[in-house]
């Protein structure tokens, strides 16, 4: 695309951008302006930054080095999370779902903040349930171990699955909490398919994945006023800065802000 764009404007070039460093910088800056303001359709900031990264690689391979050009700041928006109506529909779809394994799995990101990889890596001994409380031992990224309390709404689905699991193939020999139909550990890909199926049953307008369930968990805690250190520990985030983006407005927040404007009807 960049080369085609160059070919279409030879008169506007100040030197050869494929051999001269100054001409390279000017051309790439003009191309950035074109993508953001003149292209049809105009490109997003994220798209443009990705295009500039590709051009960096292109110029390095030609021996020119990276162009001297700044990146556009990506608008700060909180990660996608389910709004309140979507959360209710999601929870009701899980409650209606006939398979106890899938019900327990689908609630782990929402009520425990687990990544899908965290969930399928759980072993049976990692789930400790007492008469009133419970704890999950989670082995996260980089082999880091954290303990997450079991939410009251998660206790019964976990108990139901542990009971049902006894009759599954591989239950006597496998340590994995979540088993597939052949008695092996459930894969992340198969677990993702569970989330997709339940989301379709819920009739949600936006795609819902385990990651969005996890984002919803973190967003609810932070917006509820919980301490960032506590949330970081529960979610398995090594850096607090990673969590601060959750306090940014969502697209729904921005849409809701428009309600304050006067309308003359």
Per-residue pLDDT of the chain (265 residues; tens, 9 = 90+): 999 998 888 767 778 889 999 999 999 999 998 998 898 888 888 888 889 999 999 999 999 999 988 876 665 666 788 888 899 999 999 999 999 999 999 999 999 999 999 999 999 999 999 888 899 999 977 778 999 999 999 999 999 999 999 999 999 999 999 999 999 999 999 999 999 999 999 998 777 888 889 889 998 898 888 888 888 889 888 777 667 777 777 777 778 888 888 887 7
pLDDT of residue 43: 87
9 and 42 in a common domain: yes
Candidate list 59, 101, 165, 237, residue with the active-site label: 237
> Is 46 considered catalytic here?
no
Contact, 106 vs 201, CB < 8 A?
no
150 and 236 in a common domain: yes
92 and 221 in a common domain: yes
- Does the residue 227 lie in any domain? yes
- Does the residue 78 lie in any domain? no
pLDDT of residue 264: 77
13 and 119 in a common domain: no
Q: Residue for token digits 């529960």?
A: 234
178 and 93 in a common domain: yes
Candidate list 24, 59, 165, 246, residue with the active-site label: 246
* Residue count (the chain): 265
> Is 182 considered catalytic here?
no
CATH of the domain at 122: 1.10.443.10
170 and 218 in a common domain: yes
Contact, 189 vs 183, CB < 8 A?
no
- Does the residue 70 lie in any domain? no
> Is 151 considered catalytic here?
no
- Does the residue 15 lie in any domain? yes
> Is 31 considered catalytic here?
no
In the sheet that holds 134-139, the strands lie side by side as 127-129, 134-139, 145-149
Candidate list 24, 89, 115, 185, residue with the active-site label: 115
pLDDT of residue 172: 92
Structure tokens at 254: 């921005």
In angstroms, rounded to a whole number, what is the distance separating the alpha carbons of residues 234 and 246?
15
Three-state DSSP state, 86: helix
192 and 123 in a common domain: yes
DSSP string of 23-59? HHHHHHHHHHHIIIIISSSPPPHHHHHHHHHHHHHHH
In terms of pTM, does the model score above 0.75? no
> Is 246 considered catalytic here?
yes
50 and 115 in a common domain: no
pLDDT of residue 211: 87
Q: Which residue(s) pair with 148 in the sheet?
A: 136
Task: Find, among 149, 153, 110, the residue nearest to 128 by Cα.
Answer: 149
Candidate list 24, 185, 214, 215, residue with the active-site label: 214
Report how many domains make up the chain.
2
117 and 245 in a common domain: yes
pLDDT of residue 77: 62
A 10 A CB-CB count for 157 gives: 22
pLDDT of residue 192: 93
- Does the residue 16 lie in any domain? yes
pLDDT of residue 11: 66
163 and 37 in a common domain: no
Segment 154-157 long-range contacts (CB within 8 Å, at least 24 positions apart): 154/104, 154/107, 154/108, 154/111, 154/112, 155/129, 157/94, 157/100, 157/103, 157/104, 157/107
136 and 237 in a common domain: yes
In angstroms, rounded to a whole number, what is the distance separating the alpha carbons of residues 265 and 263?
6
- Does the residue 47 lie in any domain? yes
Q: Provide the domain limits for residue 21.
A: 2-61
- Does the residue 73 lie in any domain? no
- Does the residue 210 lie in any domain? yes
Q: How many CA atoms lie within 13 A of 263 on its CB side?
A: 4
Candidate list 141, 144, 175, 223, residue with the active-site label: 141
> Is 237 considered catalytic here?
yes
Q: Which residue(s) pair with 139 in the sheet?
A: 145
Torsion angles phi and psi, residue 137, rounded to 5: -95, 115
Q: Which helix (H) or strand (E) holds 139?
A: strand 134-139
Candidate list 66, 80, 146, 211, residue with the active-site label: 211
234 and 144 in a common domain: yes
Task: Find, among 124, 77, 74, the residue nearest to 245 by Cα.
Answer: 77
């Amino acid at each position: 695309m960049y080369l085609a764009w160059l070919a279409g404007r030879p008169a506007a070039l100040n030197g050869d951008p494929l051999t001269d460093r100054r001409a390279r910088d000017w051309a790439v800056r003009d191309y950035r302006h074109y993508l953001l303001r003149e292209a049809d359709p105009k490109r997003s900031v994220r798209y443009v930054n990705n295009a500039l990264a590709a051009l960096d690689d292109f110029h390095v391979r030609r021996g020119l080095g990276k162009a001297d050009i700044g990146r556009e700041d990506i608008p700060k928006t909180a990660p996608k999370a389910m709004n309140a109506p979507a959360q209710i529909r999601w929870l009701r779809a899980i409650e209606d779902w006939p398979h106890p394994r899938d019900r327990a799995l689908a609630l782990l990101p929402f009520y425990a903040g687990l990544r899908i990889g965290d969930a399928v890596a759980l072993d049976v001994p990692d789930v400790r349930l007492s008469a009133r409380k419970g704890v999950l031992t989670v082995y996260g990224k980089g082999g880091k171990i954290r303990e997450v309390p079991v939410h009251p709404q998660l206790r019964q689905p976990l108990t139901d699955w542990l009971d049902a699991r006894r009759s599954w193939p591989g239950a006597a020999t496998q340590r994995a909490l979540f088993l597939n139909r052949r008695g092996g550990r459930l894969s992340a890909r198969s677990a993702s398919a569970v989330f997709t199926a339940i989301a379709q049953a819920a009739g949600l307008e936006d795609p819902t994945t385990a990651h969005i369930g996890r984002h919803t968990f973190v967003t609810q805690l932070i917006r509820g006023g919980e301490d960032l250190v506590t949330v970081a520990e529960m979610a398995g985030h090594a850096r607090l800065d990673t969590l601060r983006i959750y306090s940014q407005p969502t697209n729904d927040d921005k849409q809701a802000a428009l309600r304050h404007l006067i309308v003359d009807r």
